[in-house]
Each structure stands twice: as C-alpha cells, then as structure tokens.
A and B are shown apart, each in its own frame.
Chain A
Amino acid sequence: MDFLNPVLDGFGVVVQPANLLYCLAGVVIGMLIGVLPGLGPAATIAILLPVTYGVEPVSAIIMLAGIFYGAQYGGTITSVLLRLPGEASSVVTVFDGFALAKQGRAGTALGIAAIGSFIGGTVSIIGLTLLAPVVASVALDFGPPEYAALALFGVLLVATVGNGGRLKSVIAACLGLLLATVGRDTFTGADRFTFANLDLADGIDFVPIAMGLFGLGEILYNLEERQHKRQEPAKVSTVWPSRQDLRQSRGAIGRGSVIGFVLGVLPGGGATLSSLVAYAVEKRRAKEPERFGRGAIEGVAAPESANNAAATSSFIPLLTLGIPANATMALMFGALLIQGIPPGPQLVSEHPDLFWGVVNSMYVGNILLLIMSIPLVGVFVKILRIRPAVLAPITVLITLLGVYTVANRIFDVFLVIVFGVLGYLMKKFGFEPGPLVLAFVLGSVMEIAVRQSLLIFGGDVTGFFTRPISGTVLAVLILVLVLPVARQIRKSRQQSRPDKELV
C-alpha cells in the first residue's frame, strides 16, 4: 500500500490550521457568490487572483478550488427558493426545486441537494485519487507532438461543446491563441506584435486578461441586465429530508455522481453540461416522466450530485496533463503558473504535497459545505437582500486596485479596462470569453509543442498522425467535430423533404 503514503501525507497538509482556514474562506466565498446571481465562480476566481500572490501555493489553490465547488452548492439555494439559478449549472434544478418549494417542501429540496452534492463530490474525489496518478504516470512519456494534439483537443472541444455558436467560439479561441503570441518569441528572440511598446515586450500577462474578460466584463454586462422581478424567498421549514425522500433519490444521486464524474473529466464537459445530462437521464428512466417539472425529488438530486461531481473531476485533466477542461480550470492553470508551478504530469511526483493537499482539502471542503448548507440556509437567504447595484462598485474597485497591486503597474489597470470592454462586447455579439482565455493560457504551450514537433519530424506534418497517441487524439477530435455537422445535414435534409411535397 505504498501508493497511499503521499495520500495520507496530503491529509497532514490539509489539517494545518492555515490551510483549513483558506479552505473555509474558499467555500464560504464560493457559497456566497453561488447565492448571489451575477458573478460566477470564474469571475470571482479571476478577481481574487492578485490575492494569491502573497499566499503559499497549496493554500492558494485550496482556496480557489473551494470557491469553485462551493459555488455549486450556493447556486442551488437561489434556484430552489427564488426560481433564479445562481449558477448556470443549477438551471435544471429550478424545474423541480422551485416546484417543491411551492408545495412547501423547499427544505426537502435543499436537503437532498446538499446531500447529493456531498455524495457527488466525495465519489468524484475518490475517483480523482485513484485515477489521477495513473493518468499522470502515462502522461510522463508524452512528447511535444502528444502535447500539441492534446492542447488542440482541449481548446477546440471547449469551444465547440460550450455555450454559444460554435463558429464564434472557435474564432474567440483563435483570437486567444493570437494574443498569446504577443511579446518576445522564445525560439528566435524576435519581438512579435509589440508595436515597440516596452510594456508588451514580455507579452500580455494572464492576470489582467482574466480579470478583464471574466471579472470586469461580467460586471459591465450585468449592469445592463434588466432587474429580475424580485420574489419573496419561499419559507424554509425543516431541511431534513424524510426517509422516503432519501430512498426515492438514492438511485438518482448515484447515477448523477457517475455522470458528473465522467463528463467532468472530458474537455468542454464540466458542471453545466453534466447537470443537464443527469436530469435528462432521470427523466427518461422515470416510470412517470410527467412528474418531472412538478416537484420530482430526483429532478433535484441528480443534477446537483452531477454538477458537484463534475466540478471535482474536472481537476483531473488539469492536474495530470496540464490541460484545463473548462474556463474555470484555465484560471486554476493561471493561478498555478503565478505560483511558479507549471501544471502537468510531473505535478504528482514533484509536488505531492500540493497535489494531495488540494485533493484532500476537497473532502474537508465538502463536509464544511454540508454543515453550512443545511443549518445555515436561513443566513444565506438573508444575503439575497443585498442589491446588485451595491455590489457592483465594490467588486469593480477590488478588481482595479487588485490588479494594480500585482506589479504596481498602472498599465495593468488599463489592460483590465480594455479587456473588460472587450469581454462586454463579446457577450453582446454572442462570443463567449471562456474559449479565448482558455486558448490564451494554452497558447504558448501549444506553439512551443508544435514547433518542437516540427523540428522532430523534420518538417513533416503527417508525423502528428502517425504517432500512436497524438494520432488517436487527433482522430477522436476530427470525429467529434464532424459527427454533429453530419447529423445536422441529415436532419435538415429530412426536414426539407416534407416541405417539397407540400409545394
């Protein structure tokens, strides 16, 4: 059982008081922003990036991870009580969660959601513990061509599976790749796209891009949003679900956990997609599908288990391959780089304290969240009274002053403003900022890998396809990209036929 030793050492890291405190801070912040509609976990993590500069690497990542999975718990509360999903991943929970609340069973819905989230999260951590070291040890043999293929796979899949139009997302991703090339070329030393500006010579920093596109862009976009009709939160009586509720949702929680774990690992999957799939599966399996949307407890249990499981398992590709599976993981990638720790297969062996410390902190974080979300629901409901108009200027100040403190450069403040406006405009014109940030993060990794591969292959591009692993990755990628297009063409042909008959 030698392989368990670093795992156990990781618990030693977690129980250090400072780390426990950062874990608590992370999950509380996550829960709060999950409850408050508007800022999502990606925006929050982006805004808090400057804070992590002065913190130990393990503590910093523990806190940021806590924000991410904590937000999945918090998003549920508003979905159930206000019919207002706090997070995109809790949208499906609204259907049955709010129906239950109307029947006076809000407590049951929240209780089941908390328990499902806890089980989903825990199942996923165990999966992560077992799977991650295996993947990492395989990935240690990867060369530049494999990395080039994997990075391309990650970027394109996130762009095509994510929200918004596919074409626009791929364009956004390519713009991210282009932005990543600004600055000095590592191979030849040539200045690229710097326009003789000294501030650009070292390239554009990740922090102002992320804070601008995710943080400020999101704040500006929300300023314009029409106010939701505010509803009085439904009364929460008892939060403990009855034994019958538990029995009824047992299967849904189990299936949701597995679906979440699997989809979370895949690039472009993650919490939102897995909650949608888990809901659809439960509805299809149900003996009386018409119950769904009218207060079926499985309709809360499955998506909530799934989104938490996915939030956890999406750490696997990041921590083992160095490939972020979604936009939030791209931020984690940036946070690790800030700490001087490049994420990748060597992480498990070279920084076991960080790897296992972060993984094991998730057990603690999930227990804290379970404790907080059942008895403290009332407190979080009170927070809903804070008006968004009050929060906006405070978050803006944190963003602008925060980015200044990173390097004491006023240039960074203006970069954030520029990228904030860009983020706002992108959203207005239907472009997702997520793929851009993700591609920016992977941009230099990808370029270096491609150029090294070209040198290895002696300029022969087909080399990418003839090496077994990179070839397989590229083949799967092509399959994933071509299949939906082919299906769409077939569908539109079928649809156009009856029209012709009418004419």
Chain B
Amino acid sequence: MSTAEPPAAEPPIDSAALLAELAEDRPPPAGPWAQVGAAGVTGLIGLAGLILSARLGLGQLTAPGPGLWPFVVSVVITTLSVLLALTGRQGTDTEKFSRSSLTIATAVVTLVLLGLALPVIGFEIPSLLLTFVWLRCLGKESWRSSIVISLGTVVAFYLLFVLVLKIPLPRLI
C-alpha cells in the first residue's frame, strides 16, 4: 500500500508501526540501476517515437501532419526520461526481483500456452491445466483441492459461457 503516506505532521505511534509493517510485505527497493534502467527503456521508446513520427511527416503548425502530435509527445517522453536518469537514482519506489518473481515468469508462460492452444483444441483442456498449475504449483494448494477446484472451475465456466450465455468460445465438446 504505497498510498499510505500519513498526512498529519506527527503520526501516532500506532499508525507509523502499522505502515512500516504493511511496507514490509513488499520486496526491498531495487536500487539505482533499476531506476536508470527504467529511464533507459522509456528513453528508448521516446527516441523510437521521435524517429518514427518524424518519418510520418510533421507538417506545419497551420496544417499539422500525422507525425506532429506523436512527435511532441515523444519529445516530452525523451526529455523526462533523461531527467529521471539524472535525478531519480536515489528513488526507493522500485522493487527487487526475487526468487518468487520466477513464479510470475511461470505464470506468464502458462498464459501464453493457453492463448496458443485455445483456437486449436478449445478452451476446456487448456483452462483445466492452467487452473491446476496455478493452484498446485504457484499457489501450493493440496493435490485434492487443486483437482477439485480446477475441475469445478472449468465445469462452471462451461455451464456459464456455453450453456447459459451461449458465447461462441472455441471448444471441444
């Protein structure tokens, strides 16, 4: 809860301790290189925008071309990214990647696989597998509840999407 800045000048002991505890639930800040890296990425996007929109044609102020508006926006992005790289290195608003970040990578892989399999073999089997993997491997649920919940979810989706709402999802059955 990064919004939890107490507005009062002197927070009571209670709230200060609480905010610290809430912050503890997040990983520690990632350090200056993450800040510079982030600024680098947005800066590159800005530069790419500059070049591509200049190629589209800027036109005149009296007759703006298709590239003028994106060009102006890209100038702002590039300038602010440089500013961020120069002034923002001490910021603590980033989060370190940890071993649990690998969970996210696994999760994304399952999502991509679902997207690839969906048009080929329908939604039932990929959905079942995705729910099961998320429950068992990512959520550390027990075998029994993983099987029950994933089966239940897919059956519920089938009833809702296919039989009740009659939405044309690609499907096996």
Residues of A within 8 A of B (CB): 54, 83, 85, 88, 91-92, 94-95, 99, 163-165, 167-168, 170-171, 174-175, 177-178, 181, 185, 187-188, 190, 192-193, 216, 220, 223-226, 228, 272, 276-277, 279-280, 283-284, 290, 292-294, 387, 389-390, 392-394, 396-397, 400-401, 404-405, 408, 410, 413-414, 417, 420-421, 424, 427-431, 447, 450-451, 454-455, 458-461
Residues of B within 8 A of A (CB): 1-8, 11-15, 18, 25-27, 30, 34-35, 37-38, 42, 45, 49, 52-53, 56-57, 60-70, 73-74, 76-77, 80-81, 83-84, 87-88, 91, 93-95, 97-98, 100-101, 103-104, 107-108, 111-112, 114-115, 118-119, 123, 127, 130-131, 134-135, 138-141, 145, 149-150, 153, 157, 161, 165, 167-169
Instruction: Determine the distance from Cα of A397 to Cα of B64 in the docked complex, in whole angstroms.
Output: 44
Q: Are A393 and B12 in contact (CB under 8 A)?
A: no
Q: Are B8 and A224 in contact (CB under 8 A)?
A: no
Q: Are B38 and A293 in contact (CB under 8 A)?
A: no
Instruction: Determine the distance from Cα of A408 to Cα of B168 in the docked complex, in whole angstroms.
Output: 8
Q: Are A277 and B7 in contact (CB under 8 A)?
A: yes
Contact flag A192-B104 (CB < 8 Å), given A401-B127, A404-B118, A430-B91: no
Instruction: Determine the distance from Cα of A193 to Cα of B67 in the docked complex, in whole angstroms.
Output: 10
Q: Are B114 and A393 in contact (CB under 8 A)?
A: no
Instruction: Determine the distance from Cα of A488 to Cα of B63 in the docked complex, in whole angstroms.
Output: 41
Q: Are B115 and A88 in contact (CB under 8 A)?
A: no
Q: Are A390 and B74 in contact (CB under 8 A)?
A: no
Instruction: Determine the distance from Cα of A83 to Cα of B1 in the docked complex, in whole angstroms.
Output: 13
Q: Are A224 and B101 in contact (CB under 8 A)?
A: yes
Instruction: Determine the distance from Cα of A216 to Cα of B115 in the docked complex, in whole angstroms.
Output: 14
Instruction: Determine the distance from Cα of A171 to Cα of B30 in the docked complex, in whole angstroms.
Output: 20
A256 smallest CB distance to B (angstroms): 14
Contact flag A410-B34 (CB < 8 Å), given A429-B94, A451-B69: no
Q: Are A428 and B97 in contact (CB under 8 A)?
A: yes
> For B74, what are the chain A residues with a Cβ–Cβ distance below 8 Å?
178
Q: Could you list 9 examples of A-B contacts with CB < 8 Å?
A: A92-B6, A192-B53, A192-B67, A223-B107, A224-B101, A293-B12, A392-B138, A410-B115, A430-B93
> For A88, what are the chain B residues with a Cβ–Cβ distance below 8 Å?
1, 3-4
Instruction: Determine the distance from Cα of A188 to Cα of B169 in the docked complex, in whole angstroms.
Output: 37
Contact flag A223-B70 (CB < 8 Å), given A171-B84, A272-B3: no
Q: Are A225 and B80 in contact (CB under 8 A)?
A: no
B51 smallest CB distance to A (angstroms): 11
How would you classify the secondary structure of chain A's contact residues: helix, strand, loop or mixed?
helix
Q: Are B94 and A428 in contact (CB under 8 A)?
A: yes
> For B112, what are the chain A residues with a Cβ–Cβ distance below 8 Å?
414, 417
Contact flag A174-B111 (CB < 8 Å), given A294-B12, A393-B131: no
Instruction: Determine the distance from Cα of A307 to Cα of B18 in the docked complex, in whole angstroms.
Output: 21
> For B149, what are the chain A residues with a Cβ–Cβ distance below 8 Å?
390
> For B30, what are the chain A residues with a Cβ–Cβ distance below 8 Å?
428-429
> For B123, what are the chain A residues with a Cβ–Cβ distance below 8 Å?
401
Instruction: Determine the distance from Cα of A460 to Cα of B119 in the docked complex, in whole angstroms.
Output: 53
> For B7, what are the chain A residues with a Cβ–Cβ distance below 8 Å?
276-277, 279-280
Instruction: Determine the distance from Cα of A387 to Cα of B134 in the docked complex, in whole angstroms.
Output: 13
Instruction: Determine the distance from Cα of A236 to Cα of B58 in the docked complex, in whole angstroms.
Output: 65
Q: Are A293 and B77 in contact (CB under 8 A)?
A: no
Instruction: Determine the distance from Cα of A225 to Cα of B24 in the docked complex, in whole angstroms.
Output: 10
Q: Are A223 and B104 in contact (CB under 8 A)?
A: yes
> For A224, what are the chain B residues with a Cβ–Cβ distance below 8 Å?
27, 98, 100-101, 103-104
B31 smallest CB distance to A (angstroms): 12
Q: Are A167 and B87 in contact (CB under 8 A)?
A: yes
Q: In this complex, which of B134, B140, B168 has the most chain A Cβ atoms within 10 angstroms of its Cβ?
A: B134
> For B140, what are the chain A residues with a Cβ–Cβ distance below 8 Å?
389
Q: Are A190 and B141 in contact (CB under 8 A)?
A: no
Nearest B residue to A219 by beta-carbon distance? B107
Nearest A residue to B16 by beta-carbon distance? A293
> For B37, what are the chain A residues with a Cβ–Cβ distance below 8 Å?
429
Contact flag A290-B138 (CB < 8 Å), given A83-B18, A168-B93: no
Q: Are B104 and A220 in contact (CB under 8 A)?
A: yes
Instruction: Determine the distance from Cα of A283 to Cα of B130 in the docked complex, in whole angstroms.
Output: 49
> For B81, what are the chain A residues with a Cβ–Cβ distance below 8 Å?
171
Which among B18, B88, B130, B168 is the interface contact of A167 at CB below 8 angstroms?
B88
Q: In this complex, which of A175, A272, A397 has the most chain B Cβ atoms within 10 angstroms of its Cβ?
A: A397
> For B61, what are the chain A residues with a Cβ–Cβ distance below 8 Å?
454, 459-461
Instruction: Determine the distance from Cα of A292 to Cα of B98 in the docked complex, in whole angstroms.
Output: 38
